[in-house]
Amino acid sequence: MKKQLIGLSIAILCMIGSSCKEDYLDTVPTASVDASAAFATTKNASAAVNGIYRAMVVRYLGSQGYFGYPAMMMIQDILGEDLVIGNVSTGWHINENRWQVHRSETGNLSEMPFDMYYRIIGNANLAIANIDGAAGPQEDRSRLKGEALGLRAFGYFNLVRLYGKRYDAATRPNSQLAVPLVLEPTTQGLPRSTVEEVYAQINKDLTEAIALLPSSRVAKSHINKEVANGLLARVALTQQNWAAAATYAAAARVGYPLMSIAQYQDGFSDIGNPEWIWGFDHLEDQSEFFGAFHSYISSNYNSSNIRTNPKAINSTLYNKIPETDVRAKMWVKAPTATNTVTPPGGVRVPYHTQKFRLPPNPATSTMGDIPYMRAAEMYLIEAEALAKQGKDADAAKILFDLVSKRDPAYKLSTSTGATLLDEIYFNRRIELWGEGHRFLDLKRLNQPLNRNGANHNPAVAVLFDVPAGDVMWEFLIPRREINSNAAIVQNPL
């Protein structure tokens, strides 16, 4: 299976909701195959779907700093206040930290996710349109279609949160513009659908996927029933559909026990961890070296970025973590040569990260596996959703089930209302640090960006405050898309 994951990049139009350039239409890419051949059999179709997963972890725009979905995970935390970049020694992701490139029509961060997610969607559309006619067992056709539906929903869920305004359950229908809904292979430029329409399609795709998918799968890198439930839990939480969020989150974590305290300190780089529901299982012979997640966020990969500009946690957040909590060991407030793992010659900074760490010999383990979804997140979603329904005792119990695994001294919370929610949010911030949730959490909760009073360097961050609901929370549509698609319009500048 791992060898197949090298990735068949299938034939696909422009992969985005825009018209294609004429020279593109006249060229057959060498990395492409005809769709009819790609989906002639379920064996071929499996290779094609594997190629979609591979498209999540390759470089975009020719940049080692834009290494697919894992780059977006890191950048979405860099856009928040909890992941701290201390200096500008290497320059990587500094302008992202300053909220500049996603607010530029020609900025890499406005273009890269648009490019990537529509590539995933375009390939998924081909699979959905062709898989029913593939020769092979019906169970394989069902599974592959379920995976393709899940991947399409995953693409649209990320796009609508980045390029659209936040979903507000109190103002249904959410008629604000989102992104074009491209649901079949096409080269026609389409207008932007509404936020409500995009979420309706996401829910439809994931509901159909759950009906088709088994729990078994060839690898954790693939979407199964539990992953689809986890995606639905994320969607329901974002839409403030609290009852559904709690139900789907509970279903998603079945069979994925929380890791032990010892496992928590293993470095978050091994997909074999029992708590990981979904992730990237890297292959050493396909290493991206300096263009990979752990090349930028780990404590010990031997890159100039890690050596000279290691990542840190927000000091005010860290100082609230109890010493008895294993998560306090994921960062070092006062690092020394004996208490902090770094690459040879690496500098040490206050609140230095140790969470993501490659095995003892990173020279032979260059990438590390990457967690896309963990059981801990599902506990936190369920706890938040229960608390939002006023079920404080139930929410506190779910929170206890998680936090007591991290901190043996933790006691069942007796808090209620907003105080209990604050406790849940605090645990969400420290539990999911670096895994791509903070910017989107601030946006969905309609909270401001506030980097004041912590260890952010003014010369690096520059921007310390963004009001809730400001237009800056919306990524701009790439200028290249606007130039080629007459049906699309830009977000407010």
Domains detected in the chain: 3-56+84-213+447-484 (1.25.40.390), 282-368 (no CATH)
Indicate if the pLDDT at residue 6 is higher than 80: no
Q: What is the mean pLDDT of residues 479-493?
A: 95
Indicate if the pLDDT at residue 216 is higher than 60: yes
Of 149-163, 176-190, 355-369, least confident by mean pLDDT is 355-369
Q: What's the pLDDT at 63?
A: 87
Indicate if the pLDDT at residue 72 is higher than 50: yes
**Contact in structure between 187 and 127 (CB atoms under 8 Å):** no
Choice between 30 and 70, residue whose per-residue pLDDT is larger: 70
- For 324-334, the pLDDT digits (tens) are 999 999 999 99
Indicate if the pLDDT at residue 164 is higher than 90: yes
Contacts with 390 (C-beta within 8 Å, 6 or more apart), sequence order: none
Q: What's the pLDDT at 88?
A: 86
pLDDT band per the 50, 70, 90 thresholds, residue 187 = confident
Indicate if the pLDDT at residue 429 is higher than 60: yes
Contacts with 35 (C-beta within 8 Å, 6 or more apart), sequence order: 10, 11, 126, 129, 130, 185
Give the residue among 118, 2, 3 at the shortest CA–CA distance from 60.
Answer: 118
Indicate if the pLDDT at residue 33 is higher than 60: no
Q: What's the pLDDT at 237?
A: 98
Choice between 305 and 263, residue whose per-residue pLDDT is larger: 263
Distances 432 to 108, 126, 221, 373 between C-alpha atoms, Å = 25, 34, 19, 10
- For 77-110, the pLDDT digits (tens) are 999 999 999 888 888 899 999 999 999 999 999 9
Choice between 18 and 396, residue whose per-residue pLDDT is larger: 396
Contacts with 60 (C-beta within 8 Å, 6 or more apart), sequence order: 66, 67, 68, 71, 112, 115, 116
- Residue 409: both structure tokens together: 């001294």
Q: Record the pTM.
A: 0.92
Indicate if the pLDDT at residue 22 is higher than 70: no
Indicate if the pLDDT at residue 278 is higher than 70: yes
Q: What's the pLDDT at 91?
A: 84
Q: Rank 29-43, 84-98, 241-255, 347-361 by mean pLDDT and report only the highest.
A: 241-255
pLDDT band per the 50, 70, 90 thresholds, residue 289 = low
Share of residues in the chain with pLDDT > 90 (%) = 82
* Cα(267)–Cα(282) distance, integer angstroms: 15
Its sign, for the CA torsion 32, 487, 66, 185, is negative
**Tokens 């302008």, located at residue:** 95
- Residue 64: both structure tokens together: 């080692």
Give the residue among 175, 174, 167, 165 at the shortest CA–CA distance from 238.
Answer: 167
Q: What is the mean pLDDT of residues 309-335?
A: 97
**Tokens 């979904």, located at residue:** 278
Q: What's the pLDDT at 7?
A: 33
Q: What is the mean pLDDT of residues 226-243?
A: 98
